[in-house]
Structure 1
Amino acid sequence: MDDISTGVLFSLLILLLVISGYFSGSETGMMSLNRYKLRHLANQGHRGAKRVEKLLSRPDRLIGLILIGNNLVNILASAIATILGMRLYGDLGVAIATGALTLVVLVFAEVTPKTLAALYPERVSYTSSVVLNILMKLLYPLVWFVNGITNSFLMLLGLRVDNMNDPKLSSDELRTVVNEAGGLIPRRHQDMLLSILDLENVTVEDLMVPRSDIAAININDDWKSIVRQLSHSAHGRIVLYRDTIDEVVGMLRVREAYRLMMDKNDFSKANLLRAADEVYFIPEGTPLNIQLLKFQRNKERIGLIVDEYGDIQGLITLEDILEEIVGEFTTSITPTLAEEITPQADGSLMIEGSANIRDLNKSLNWSLPTDGPRTLNGLILEHLEDIPDSQLSIKVGGHQMEIIEVSENMIKLVKVLPTPLQKTG
């Protein structure tokens, strides 16, 4: 290089530093891209996104290409800088050139381009993909050779990099994405999406109508009692059983019973039993997402939940699961949480013992344990391990509670005192 002028060498050094910055920025930009946004744009026909997605389909080859180019220009830049240093400062120039080039490379060929690429990954990646595509074709034999050696070494360590797929989002990661969507997704829609994701963590027992509250008729009752119960029923379907609810014989549509009432000759116990539908049973512990699909597959809308011994535990409907996703329907005949909570002037809350713990946690932003009893009554009874008297004061889940009313071995009404934080707010 003695025949090359100093000016030309300086120009060549600057060019190499620019190329080094290009490779550094391209690497950061490519790896900083949102893969799901990239895939969406590629599916929409965006040319730049398609080029980048093709390059990222084998990230080991892309990284190999970028590092080969980056190292080649950096080594050549180091050699030129050494020559320039010796020309200008003699033997001391080697040390000067090394220090100066290190600083220049660090600032202008590494930190600056990588920072810009991290801030604007799409612009950098879509533009640089044009050149990288050309280089990949020209240098493919060298890239293949280097990757072959690298992948062989990784295989010795028990790792495989071929046939790599994009990592899939877990449910928790998807929840984070939805929560961070901000104004891109309306708050109401975010809540619905999060509720759908939570279905797999909720079982049918969390939403079921308890066994004691199931609308049911003992078919062995006297006929007048049966007619009276049918006439005053507020439900669309009623469970029919013999003597005990565990001996279920059918699920009667009330409108069918009304139709039979119109013809007195057909209105009898035998015809009621014939008009009843077959009961659909659901094993306890079934996640809501699974049960929703089963309702759809079996074309059912209501089912009875049974334990391992076949005993009835409760009842759940398709509407119950849909309400878990979209919120309560105004046509629901079951008590809403708002009807079970009565705010007091002193900031305390009067809550019915039948209130669902999960609903309380969601509505009041509490953290009562949900891995045991489903209702506030059950939670307090489990905590006390006894049926308490009224006016007893206890602390459960960080909340001070007073038991106001107890009847029929159940806690009917509880007063939850405000926490110090609530008082100051």
Structure 2
Amino acid sequence: MNEIPLGLLFGLLALLIVISAFFSSSETSMMALNRYRLRHQAKSGHRGAKRAMELLSRPDKLIGVILIGNNLVNILASVIAGVVFTQLYGDAGVIYATAALTIVILIFAEVTPKTVAALRPEKIAFPASLVLRPLLWLLAPLVWLVSSISNGLARLVGVEASAGNEAEHLAPEELRTVVFESGALLPKKHKGMLLNVLDLDQATVEDIMIPRNEVTGVDLESTGDEILQQLAESSYTRLPVYRGDINRVVGILHLRRAAQILRDGPEAFSAERLQSYTDEPYFVPEATPLPTLLMNFQKKKRRMGLVVDEYGEVMGIVTLEDLLEEIVGDFTTSPVPSEDEEIVADGDDWYLIEGGTSIRDINRTLQWDLPTDGPKTLNGLAMEYLESIPDGNISFYLQDYLVEIVEVSDKMITRARAKKVR
């Protein structure tokens, strides 16, 4: 090698540095590829993505062929650098070669190409796969030997190399982070809907049901005139029908089917006829998760369910509209226009809130973070904290919120003022 011209040796050394940079950038770019984006591109027919996915299906072999090539090139570069500097500086050339080659490889074959590859992984990985795939086939025996020894050592510490074949999965919280970091790729409204869908598993029917004391229904033990007037004035599409008590429900009445009764007038009305127009009631346990409820509504073609507790007592009703509001937010119109809103701004960051307002509704409307793992209403939350029904108007701190009791009945806190203080 001493007879080879220095110019040729320098040229060969530069080529080896370039090849080393290729292997270094290939390793970083392959490992930095977004697996989900890569899978989507491969399904769309992108050839580079398909080649990259094929190589990444066995990361142990991919890393093996890259490191084998990189080390062979760096060792050969070290030998040539030693020869060149020995010819130039004699015995001291070995020291000079070590120092110079270390700096050159570090800057031009490691840090720079790896930085570029980390920032633009697809631009490096896809073209590199054209070289790595045939190289993997060419060096297959050596790669197999190195991978076998490496995988054996990995098993000693509990790592299975074949796990790279398994599909990657995102936990719900990780998926929430992906949605949050989507930035302008997703409209704000769509992002909110996706996050609400992910939150469905954290809520049950009890969290969104209309409580029993607020349920409007038809009592067959009322007079005919009272029932007809209620049907004529009702703003709801569906009403539970019961005898005396909602626990004795006989069916669900769709007002469209009751139109004939209204047309015929009081003379043709009878409780038995009204009952014949009802559908069989659908009962839902209060602990049913919302995703399960949604699937059951879809499967059974239902839009309303009667919520029951473990003793079979009716606790309230839940509708498809209530469930959809958990995903898309409140609808623009309400079936029953109310003179008094449940949450009303009261100046200086205070809000006047009805005691029966759902904690989830308060959090969603005001962007607060009141606890939802206990009582479901503001009244329940306040009484759990106070451990009794207050005798008069008092105030107290509930985590980061100041609550003032405004109105109290014999059985519950009917209205309170609240503001976020921290």
Q: What TM bracket, shorter-length normalisation?
A: over 0.9
| Displacement after TM superposition at 1:156 (Å) | 3.9
Are the aligned partners of 2:18 and 2:109 in contact in 1 as well (CA < 8 Å)?
A: yes
SS in structure 2 of the partner of residue 246 of structure 1: strand
CA distance in 2, matches of 1:336, 1:310: 31
More divergent stretch after superposition (51-60 vs 370-379): 51-60
- Alignment of 1:102 onto 2:102: yes
After TM superposition, list the pairs within 5 Å mapping 1:89-128 onto structure 2: 89-128=89-128
- Aligned pairs for 1:272-421 (under 5 A) are 272-333=274-335, 339-417=341-419, 419=421
Quick check: 2:343–2:354 contact (8 Å CA) kept in 1? Answer: yes
The one-letter code matched in structure 1 to 2:65 is L
Moved more, 261-270 or 273-282: 261-270
Confirm or deny: 8 A CA contact 2:200 2:289 kept in the other structure. yes
Cα deviation for residue 247 of structure 1 reads: 2.3
Counterpart in the other structure of 1:250 = 251
- Measured in 2, the distance between the counterparts of 1:274 and 1:109 equals 83
Shift in Å, 1:364: 1.7
**What letter matches 1:227 in structure 2?**
L
Following the alignment from structure 1 to structure 2, what is the Cα–Cα distance between the partners of residues 415 and 383?
Answer: 16
Report the alpha carbon displacement of residue 165 of structure 1 after superposing the two structures with TM.
2.3
Q: 2:69 and 2:43 mapped to 1: Cα distance?
A: 30
TM-score by length of structure 1 reads 0.92
Question: Would you say the 8 A contact 2:232–2:262 is kept in 1?
Answer: no
In structure 2, what residue type is equivalent to 1:96?
Y
The aligned counterpart of 1:87 is: 87
> Residues 24-77 of structure 1: CA distance to partner in whole angstroms, max 9, x if unpaired?
011111111112222222222222222212211222111111011001111111
Distance 1:260 1:13 in 2: 97
Equivalent residue number for residue 229 of structure 1: 230
**Offset of residue 228 of structure 1:** 3.8
* Local SS of the residue matching 1:403: strand
Partners of 1:323 and 1:298 lie apart in 2 by 20
* Aligned residue pairs, count: 420
Q: Residues 236 and 253 of structure 1 are in contact (CA less than 8 Å); yes or no, is this contact kept in structure 2?
A: yes
* 1:368-403 deviation per Cα after TM superposition (whole angstroms, max 9, x unaligned): 111011111111111111111342111113211211
Distance 1:336 1:125, change over 3 A: farther
Which amino acid in structure 2 is aligned with residue 269 of structure 1? A
User: Structure 2: which 5+ runs fail to align?
Assistant: none
Specify the SS of the correspondent of 1:346: coil
CA change 1:23–1:170 in 2 (3 A) is same
* Separation in 1, partners of 2:340, 2:76: 74
Shift, 1:360, TM fit: 1.5
- 2 CA distance for matches of 1:91 and 1:308? 90
**Distance change in 2, residues 1:335/1:169 (3 Å):** farther
Shift of 1:8: 2.2
Q: Structure 2 vs 1, CA of residues 105 and 240 (structure 1 numbering), >3 Å: closer, same or farther?
A: same
Distance 1:309 1:180 in 2: 45
SS of the residue 1:350 aligns to: strand
- Comparing 266-275 with 336-345, greater Cα deviation is found at 336-345
| Residue aligning to 2:57 | 57
Question: What does residue range 140-289 of structure 1 map to in structure 2 within 5 Å?
Answer: 140-162=140-162, 164-263=165-264, 266-289=268-291
Q: Distance in 1 between the 2:339 and 2:72 partners?
A: 69
Question: CA–CA distance in 1 between the matches of 2:156 and 2:198?
Answer: 40
* CA 1:331–1:349: 2 relative to 1, 3 Å: closer
3-state SS in 1 of match to 2:63 = helix
Give the Cα separation in 2 of the matches to 1:44 and 1:144.
Answer: 32
Q: Which amino acid aligns with 2:97?
A: A
- Preserved CA contact (<8 Å) 2:401 2:418: yes
User: CA–CA distance in 2 between the matches of 1:418 and 1:66?
Assistant: 57
TM-score by length of 2: 0.93
Tell which deviates more after alignment, 25-34 or 395-404: 395-404
User: What is the rounded CA distance, in whole Å, between the counterparts of 1:148 and 1:354 in structure 2?
Assistant: 66
Give the match's secondary structure for 1:415: strand
Stretches of structure 1 lacking an aligned partner (at least 5 in a row): none
